[in-house]
């Protein structure tokens, strides 16, 4: 992808072209950005099953130009039976990353769809959920072509997923990964989507569908029970924000790492870097990332258990102090613990300027691996991020929210531009946001060029165990050498590797022009009309 997509009446972007088409169809029919995003989210749960599912969590930013956006938090809490004692009795000193005991939190993304659609109605949205799930249900019932990333990740992760209840029957063919281009059907999931379209999102938590979900979770050995589902609710929240020269950035509050995304760009803006793609640009953002992650890892978790206000770290005084700690020439040693994750970011802006930035996740690829037989739902393993010992906001307790790497982003420019952007990629999410935003907004690159350009990742994603500074091999050798000389532990990766995430962005100009871009590292597309 080399050229930015442009249109006037509406724009959608997602990491799978069939999902983007589903969103664009909604926009063409007069639906708004929120409705289009729900259609894309439902479609991605079918055609990109290794990356997302309706058995996960989701976070929204929804707003118009010149207005502060509204956040919708759809974060499932730990089950009442999910206690450190549960794992001790199972002979475990850590929560497993796969299987029924990893499926220990409620999946809240469907509740988030419901709350987002209620907010959509306040902006004139009228399309019923039954219409919004049409494409998703059709693909589940009639089939969709398997992507390269689904094939590769299924084969790579098969050993740790094959024994999870229901996984092999749903996602393996004769015990192996499905071939690229082969047609996969998910009929049980298709029936579930159709039921949600008729009964509404509430049925997932308090209706006949909820009872089937609870039955299958119990049968698999998950601690999540019907009472946990019934207690689940999405809520509206105020986003965090920070001002940079000429633009205000918005991101999601805890339990997500949105704070770190804002801090990285705010710290970098204080370094006075005047040119993109050189040592000062990359080194500055990498060192800003370290300072932001040190704060994130110390304070962020379940908001009710946090002892510090994240907004305090976005004040000028706090940011000035942290920026002063950044050495412009030498890398800070980096042994910090990493976080993994698999996710999708998607967004839309309609012709009236309403914008949606949404991120939906099951944590690791295929989540816990548990597939519920009656409903075809893949359940997340987000609760594997809880700790079983110690104190603080990330220690497991019934009803506690897990730490999330998810963080949808939005920006409002003084010149009237309005931007939604984001990516999947766990630890890499705030770093990729910083890369694409700085290239586009601070250094004037074309939107698509800012996403296509080579990227970096400090830490890990997709389950890699190293905490190196990973660079795509398209960076100039002299820049790589300069980073190594500064003390960065550099590891080279292939060009356009999915390790760097699947990013996307849409910008609306003050005159109504829309620009969209999507990541060539994904199977996605940006499309407008």
Whether 259 contacts 301, CB under 8 Å: no
- Residue 455, pLDDT score: 96
Separation CA 312–CA 130 (nearest Å): 43
Separation CA 156–CA 165 (nearest Å): 18
3-state SS of the chain: helix, strand, coil percent to 5? 40, 20, 40
Q: Among 158, 62, 92, 97, which residue's Cα sits nearest to residue 359?
A: 62
Residue 371 per-residue DSSP state: B
- Residue 339, pLDDT score: 46
pTM: 0.95
Q: Which domain holds residue 369?
A: 1-529
- Residue 428, pLDDT score: 79
Helices (H), 315-418: 316-324
Q: Which pair of structure tokens corresponds to residue 492?
A: 């080279």
- What DSSP letter does each residue of 64-77 carry, written as one string? -TTS--EEEEE-PP
The pair phi, psi for residue 317, each rounded to 5°, is -65, -45
Catalogue the active-site residues. 343
* Structural domains of the chain, count: 1
- Residue 460, pLDDT score: 63
Separation CA 419–CA 275 (nearest Å): 22
Q: Longest C-alpha distance within the chain, in Å?
A: 62
- Residue 138, pLDDT score: 98
Separation CA 516–CA 529 (nearest Å): 11
pLDDT tens across the length of the chain (529 residues): 679 999 999 999 999 999 999 999 999 999 999 999 999 999 999 999 999 999 999 999 999 999 999 999 999 999 999 999 999 999 999 999 999 999 999 999 999 999 999 999 999 999 999 999 999 999 999 999 999 999 999 999 999 999 999 999 999 999 999 999 999 999 999 999 999 999 999 999 999 999 999 999 999 999 999 999 999 999 999 999 999 999 999 999 999 999 999 999 999 999 999 999 999 999 999 999 999 999 998 989 889 989 999 999 999 999 999 999 999 999 999 865 444 445 789 999 999 999 999 999 999 999 999 999 999 999 999 999 999 998 889 999 999 999 887 789 999 999 999 999 998 777 778 999 999 999 999 999 999 999 999 999 998 654 455 679 999 999 999 999 999 999 999 999 999 998 888 899 999 999 999 999 999 999 899 999 9
Q: Which pair of structure tokens corresponds to residue 27?
A: 């926009």
Whether 56 contacts 367, CB under 8 Å: yes
Separation CA 163–CA 365 (nearest Å): 15
Q: Among 433, 469, 517, 462, which residue's Cα sits nearest to residue 260?
A: 433
Burial class (CB in 10 A: 0-12, 13-18, 19+), 127: buried
Separation CA 441–CA 103 (nearest Å): 40
Separation CA 215–CA 372 (nearest Å): 9
Q: Which pair of structure tokens corresponds to residue 251?
A: 């991101």
Separation CA 157–CA 24 (nearest Å): 33
Ramachandran sector of residue 246 (left: φ over 0; alpha: ψ -120 to 50; beta: rest):
left
Separation CA 261–CA 302 (nearest Å): 18
Separation CA 366–CA 355 (nearest Å): 29
Distance of CA 458 to the CA centre of its chain: 18
Burial class (CB in 10 A: 0-12, 13-18, 19+), 307: exposed
- Residue 78, pLDDT score: 98
Separation CA 13–CA 34 (nearest Å): 13
Ramachandran sector of residue 91 (left: φ over 0; alpha: ψ -120 to 50; beta: rest):
left
Pairing of strands 235-237, 70-74: antiparallel
- Residue 336, pLDDT score: 55
């Amino acid at each position: 992808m080399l050229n930015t997509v442009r249109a006037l009446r509406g724009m959608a972007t997602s990491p799978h072209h069939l999902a983007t088409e589903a969103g664009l169809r909604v926009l063409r029919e007069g639906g708004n950005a929120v409705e289009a995003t729900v259609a894309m989210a439902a479609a991605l749960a079918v055609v990109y099953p290794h990356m997302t599912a309706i058995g996960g969590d989701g976070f929204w930013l929804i707003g118009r130009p010149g207005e502060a956006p509204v956040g919708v938090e759809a974060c499932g809490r730990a089950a009442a039976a999910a206690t450190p004692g549960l794992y001790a009795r199972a002979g475990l000193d850590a929560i497993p990353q796969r299987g029924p005991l990893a499926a220990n939190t409620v999946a809240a993304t469907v509740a988030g769809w419901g709350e987002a659609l209620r907010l959509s109605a306040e902006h004139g949205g009228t399309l019923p959920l039954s219409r919004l799930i049409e494409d998703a249900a059709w693909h589940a019932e009639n089939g969709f072509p398997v992507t390269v990333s689904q094939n590769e990740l299924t084969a790579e992760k098969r050993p740790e997923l094959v024994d999870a209840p229901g996984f092999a029957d749903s996602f393996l063919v004769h015990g192996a990964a499905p071939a690229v281009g082969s047609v996969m059907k998910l009929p049980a999931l298709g029936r579930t989507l159709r039921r949600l379209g008729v009964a509404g999102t509430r049925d997932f938590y308090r209706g006949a569908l909820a009872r089937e979900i609870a039955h299958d979770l119990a049968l698999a050995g998950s601690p999540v029970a019907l009472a946990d589902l019934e207690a689940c609710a999405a809520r509206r929240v105020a986003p965090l924000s920070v001002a940079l020269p000429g633009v205000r950035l918005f991101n999601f509050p805890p339990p997500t790492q949105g704070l770190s995304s804002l801090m990285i760009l705010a710290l970098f803006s204080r370094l006075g870097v005047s040119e993109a793609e050189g040592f000062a640009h990359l080194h500055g953002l990498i060192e800003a990332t370290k300072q932001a992650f040190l704060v994130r890892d110390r304070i962020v978790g379940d908001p009710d258990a946090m002892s510090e206000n994240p907004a305090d770290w976005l004040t000028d005084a706090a940011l000035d102090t942290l920026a002063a700690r950044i050495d412009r020439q030498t890398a800070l040693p980096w042994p910090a613990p990493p976080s993994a994750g698999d996710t999708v970011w998607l967004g839309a802006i309609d012709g009236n300027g309403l914008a949606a930035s949404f991120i939906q996740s099951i944590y690791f690829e295929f989540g816990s691996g548990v597939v519920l037989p009656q409903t075809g739902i893949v359940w997340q393993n987000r609760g594997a991020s809880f700790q079983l010992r110690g104190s603080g906001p990330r220690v497991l307790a019934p009803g506690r929210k897990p730490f999330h790497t998810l963080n949808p982003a939005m920006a409002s420019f003084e010149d009237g531009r309005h931007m939604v952007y984001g990516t999947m990629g766990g630890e890499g999410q705030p770093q990729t946001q910083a890369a694409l935003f700085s290239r586009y907004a601070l250094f004037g690159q074309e939107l698509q060029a800012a996403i296509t350009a080579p990227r970096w990742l400090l830490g890990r994603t997709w389950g890699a165990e190293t905490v190196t500074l990973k660079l795509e091999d398209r960076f100039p050798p002299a820049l790589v050498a300069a980073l190594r000389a500064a003390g960065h532990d550099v590891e080279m990766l292939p060009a356009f590797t999915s390790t760097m995430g699947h990013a996307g962005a849409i910008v609306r100009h003050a005159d109504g022009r829309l620009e969209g871009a999507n990541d060539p590292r994904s199977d996605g597309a940006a499309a407008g009309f």
